[in-house]
Amino acid sequence: MSDFPRWKYALVALVMLFGVIYALPNAFIPQPAVQVTANRGAAPIDETVRQKVAAALAAQHVAAGELVVQGDHLLATFANTDVQRMGADAMKAALGDNYTVAFKLESTVPGWLRAIGARSMPLGLDLQGGVHFLMQVDQSDVLDKQESSYADDIRSLLRDKNIHYESVTRNAVPGQGIAVILRSADDRSKASDAIANAYSDLDLANGPSTGDRFVLNAVVKPDKLRSIARDTITQNLSTLRNRINALGVSEPLIQQQGENHIVVDLAGVQDPAEAKKLIGTVATLQYRPGIGQPGDPRAQEAAKTGNIPPDANLFYMRGTQIPVLVSKKIIVTGNELTNASSGVDTRNGTANVNVTLNASGAKKMLDFTSDNIGKPMAVVYVETLYDTKMVNGKEVRTPKTTETVINDAVIQGAFSNQFETNGLGSQKEASELALLLKGGAFAAPVDIVEERVIGPSLGKDNIDKGFNAVLLGLALVLLAAAVYYKLFGLVADIALFFNLVVLVAVMSLIGVTLTMPGIAGIVLTLGMAIDANVLICERVREELRNGSTPHAAIRAGYEKAWATILDANVTHLIAALALTTMGTGAIKGFGVTLMIGILTSLFTSVTLTHAFTALIHGHRKLKTLSV
């Protein structure tokens, strides 16, 4: 056994040290806390707000562990979740609607561990608590937009073909198609041929004719309707993922349910208000030609009298009551953005959003700016929020759209796909706008039809049961190994313990979310890991029965068992990889834990036990082995 190289001893020591350090943060229990952030238009978080919160907590006799201002938010920690809820209620009553009061769990990991990247594993919805949303997608809205688009295209086509028509109108009920009214049977025949050649997704049929009104009905084909519905769900799923990722929620569950529902599970979000705000908000930008400067006489007169030019809209500059007239014509919208990021204008230090347009948007922007140098262009911020009210005991959500101008500046030179949008109030506001723009708009409106908050008490109960399951499984395996294989069994027990430590360390380092299926994966990994040591011990026994010396039996036992151990673990690894790549939610969590556990057990069951065995027996003369 003296042939066990020193570099392997060093490797084993480093892995054990790594495991202990990076698994250690999981021993520090997060502390219940409440975070306060200022809503748009509210006074920023400062010492005045902190003192107001402290007074409110003292008046309600709620003891806070720590009450500090951290950047743009206020953090208060509490002894337990009951006190946390009382503290949140007191803070909401004191601060009103100008501030968002949200629950969170504050890490208690020491700073020196966080400095080297060591952190505890985030907990899943079943362990940590969180919110569950069931969202319904309004398919009729996207169909309505699609039919309106077809109607516009048909009008353009008929004009290009010089076919005389009276009207092209979409039926009031989405899905009922478009009615094209022509002035003669010949025009209807020409229109039918032109539309059929240009738009293969439409079914055409002649309608009733009276006098000089000849009707041609165009209906979207069923295959196209199914494709639209499928693409709508796909785009909404993508948009939700982009937005929820910005919340910092670890491994959210976002998946389709049925034909027009989406399920969203957010672990650790104990107060759903902020999540609902980000999920339900629809924000975009519109770049429009400006009509004069903000507050000029025409805008003032329009605001005073209500007489708005027919080709214009009256808006107000963001955060002010300064009126501004903006053309109804839209140059490009946020739907034509490919990227958006917040930044700072180097000229004056104000916050801005750096915008990148797609090819279509870039061409339209270049054409407009090239022809309108020296003229104003307005940036209109369009935001749709949902106002929630209780009506007859039921929660009713009503959309509320606001349109404000965030910038109305003179075009200094032509530009196309990349440019800056200025006029934002703060860096936080710029970050939020960039986030919503980059996340994209929904292909169809979504409405939250079901909402459940899973309390942290359920999570604590699950954690206790899962922890006890791991301890019980580990204890039984350790006892069985020690009794049956004696000294070699004790070495296997040490390896099994460090397998658990290294597994937890790796999962913590890469940020794997621990769920109940993940705990099941850990228990299964521990049970499987001892199999490798069973194979090694039985090989050593076999070599001893065949007359080999103790040292030769140990060497042969590890060498001959390795091929079998590798084969067994590779097959398990393939199964775990399939669960990880193809599964979602609980299945994926189980697969990730199992895959990491297989890799760590390969090292601890073979290399680590070999190192300990070599350390114990390597320089001794042996007559027999305790196996």
- Choosing from 402, 429, 447, the residue where a domain stops is 447
In a domain, 241, yes or no: no
Residue 433: inside a domain, yes or no?
A: yes
pLDDT band at 40 (very low <50, low <70, confident <90, very high): low
pLDDT in tens, 336-356: 777 777 777 777 777 777 878
Mean pLDDT across the stretch 511-538? 82
- Looking at 21-30, 33-42, 52-61, 304-313, which range is the least confident one? 33-42
Does the structure show a pLDDT above 60 at 360?
A: yes
Are 425 and 513 within one domain?
Answer: no
Q: Clarify whether residues 81 and 149 are in a common domain.
A: no
- CATH code at position 530: 1.20.1640.10
User: For 507-544, b where at least 16 C-beta lie within 10 A, e where not — what string?
Assistant: bbbeebbbbbbbbbbbbbbbebbbbbbbbbbebbbebb
Among 403, 421, 447, identify where a domain stops.
447
Structural domain of residue 50, as residue ranges? 31-106
DSSP classification of residue 294: T
User: Which range (32-36, 392-396, 469-473, 535-539) has the least confidence?
Assistant: 392-396
Structural domain includes residue 113: no
Mean pLDDT, the chain, integer: 80
What confidence score (pLDDT) does residue 20 get?
A: 92
301 shares a domain with 211: no
The model's confidence at residue 397, banded by pLDDT at 50, 70 and 90, is low
Q: How confident is the model at residue 24 (pLDDT cuts 50, 70, 90)?
A: very high
Residue 166 has pLDDT above 70, yes or no: yes
User: 469 and 431, same structural domain?
Assistant: no
The span from the CA of 560 to the CA of 411, in Å, is 78
Asked if 193 contacts 233 with a C-beta cutoff of 8 angstroms, the reply is no
Q: What is the structure's pLDDT at 425? A: 62
- For the chain, what percent of residues have pLDDT higher than 70? 84
- Range with the lowest mean pLDDT among 116-130, 261-275, 304-318, 580-594? 261-275
Is residue 1 over pLDDT 50? no
What is the domain count for the chain? 4
Pair 199, 312 in one domain = no
Q: Which of 182, 105, 60, 174 is closest to 456 using CA atoms?
A: 105
Is 79 part of a structural domain of the chain?
A: yes
Task: Mark whether 177 and 297 lie in a shared domain.
Answer: no
Q: Are residues 405 and 494 in the same domain?
A: no
Q: Is residue 475 a part of any domain in this protein?
A: yes
Binning pLDDT at 50, 70 and 90, where does residue 441 land? low
- pLDDT band of residue 94 (cuts 50, 70, 90) is confident
Tokens read off for 115: 């400095």
Query: What's 95's domain CATH number?
Result: 3.30.70.260
CATH number assigned to the domain comprising residue 419: 3.30.1360.200
Render 236-291 in DSSP notation, one character per residue: HHHHHHHHHHTTT-SS-EEEEETTTEEEEEEET--STHHHHHHHH-EEEEEEEEEE
Residues 462 and 598 in one domain: yes
Whether the pTM exceeds 0.75: the reply is no
Residue keyed to tokens 């190192």: 611
The predicted structure's pLDDT at residue 248:
54
Three-class SS state of 136: strand
Question: Does residue 130 lie within any of the structural domains?
Answer: no
Let me know: does 505 contact 21? Beta carbons within 8 Å.
yes
Same domain, 432 and 491: no
Smallest CA-to-CA distance from 488 within 439, 437, 544 is with 544
Closest to 422 in 3D by CA, of 289, 496, 317, 526:
317
Q: Domain boundary residue among 106, 130, 155?
A: 106
Q: Do residues 346 and 393 share a domain?
A: yes
For residue 252, being part of any structural domain is answered with no
- In terms of domains, do 172 and 55 share one? no
- 462-486 pLDDT per residue, tens: 667 777 877 887 788 888 888 888 8
Closest CA to 434 of 316, 330, 338, 317: 338
List 400's β-bridge partners, or say none.
385
Nearest residue to 133 via CA among 250, 278, 10, 12? 278
> Which of residues 82 and 139 earns the better pLDDT score?
82
Would 529 be classed as within a structural domain? yes
Q: Are residues 404 and 537 located together in one domain of the fold?
A: no
